[in-house]
Amino acid sequence: MKNRILLLISILVIVVIYACSPKSAGQIQSVPQATVTPTEEPMAVRVNGTGITIVEFQNEQLRLQDANTALNEELSESEQMDLVLSELVGQVLLAQGAAQEGYHVDAGTLQVHIDELIANVGGSDQFMSWLQTNHYDEIGFRATLSRQLAAAWMRDKITAAVATTATQVHARQILVSDRATADNIYRQLQAGTDFATLAANYDPTTSGDLGWFPRGYLYQQAVEDAAFSLNAGQYSMVIETDYGFHIVQVIERSDNQPLSAGALHMLQEQAIQDWLDARWAASTIDVLI
């Protein structure tokens, strides 16, 4: 649930921008360039010296609350604070990583995206209304969009480095809700009953086929560990998890199996999280609110 809410916040701007192919700005008005204020605004967080203002932090909270309302879900104030902090600090860390890699969002690139957004929402008047509805002012939106574009570039660089093949197993399982039934199935297997036949009895739709998967893919860690400990054709003992009682059989193994779209996405998201965790640990992050 939290991930869905963060997703709404993180890609709200990017989704609108890329919803259509690029269009000519024509007579569409551009958002004014940011001006430098003589004194620094009050900060909510500093990330390696880069400040996130209290106003931006509060507006991000409002966008999160809007997302909660749209999803008919509710978060406590502390949960909202944690999510907003994690999202904004993550964006800054990714943008800082992009800068270290030599990538910067120049004014021309930023303006192209803004002009596309203005066109996509129907013109300048509608854009101003969109800004207000989503708790932005023009200058703040420009800064936020620049940071999001840099963060998106860094995310793409991280995910591009993830291999598209991995050591994987192709397995199936028999899953039942009570121990007695599982023990009875295990005795039948030991007596020579075919695993696939039993699996089809308990799961007529998929015959318990889990498909190919790498390490870290299954929700049930014990089932995954058992699968990776087996050779092709072998089956496990009864494994108890929160889902019930499992017996898993490995059908085949490969050291260089192409990843499914779901598995690749999972590993890419894990790579991003690992990168953020390492950067967070190595950074100076001062929470001032």
Going from the first residue of the chain to its last (289 residues), give the mean pLDDT of each consecutive group of 10, the final group possibly shorter: 43 40 35 54 95 96 94 92 96 98 96 96 95 94 96 98 97 98 98 97 96 94 97 98 97 97 96 98 95
pLDDT confidence of residue 109: 95
Question: 160 with 64: CB under 8 angstroms?
Answer: no
User: Percent of the chain beyond pLDDT 70?
Assistant: 87
The SS3 of residue 253 is: strand
Going across the sheet that includes 285-287, the strands are: 50-53, 43-47, 285-287
pLDDT confidence of residue 38: 57
| 244 DSSP 8-state letter | E
Q: Which amino acid is at 25?
A: A
**HSE-up of 58 (CA within 13 Å, CB side)?**
7
pLDDT confidence of residue 117: 94
The SS3 of residue 29 is: coil
User: Percent of the chain beyond pLDDT 90?
Assistant: 85
| Cα–Cα distance for residue pair 257/253, rounded to 1 Å | 8
165-258 is a CATH 3.10.150.10 domain: no
Q: Name the residue ranges covered by the structural domains of the chain.
A: 2-161+271-287, 165-258
pLDDT in tens, 197-206: 999 999 999 9
Question: 170 with 211: CB under 8 angstroms?
Answer: yes
The C-alpha angle 217, 220, 221, rounded to 5 degrees, equals: 75
Total length of the chain:
289
Percentages helix, strand, coil for the chain (3-state, rounded to 5) are 55, 15, 30
pLDDT in tens, 280-289: 999 999 999 8
pLDDT confidence of residue 40: 74
Question: 272 with 158: CB under 8 angstroms?
Answer: yes
pLDDT in tens, 263-278: 999 999 999 999 999 9
pLDDT confidence of residue 28: 30
Please provide the CATH number assigned to the domain covering 2-161+271-287: 1.10.4030.10
pLDDT in tens, 153-198: 999 999 999 999 999 999 999 999 999 999 999 999 999 999 999 9
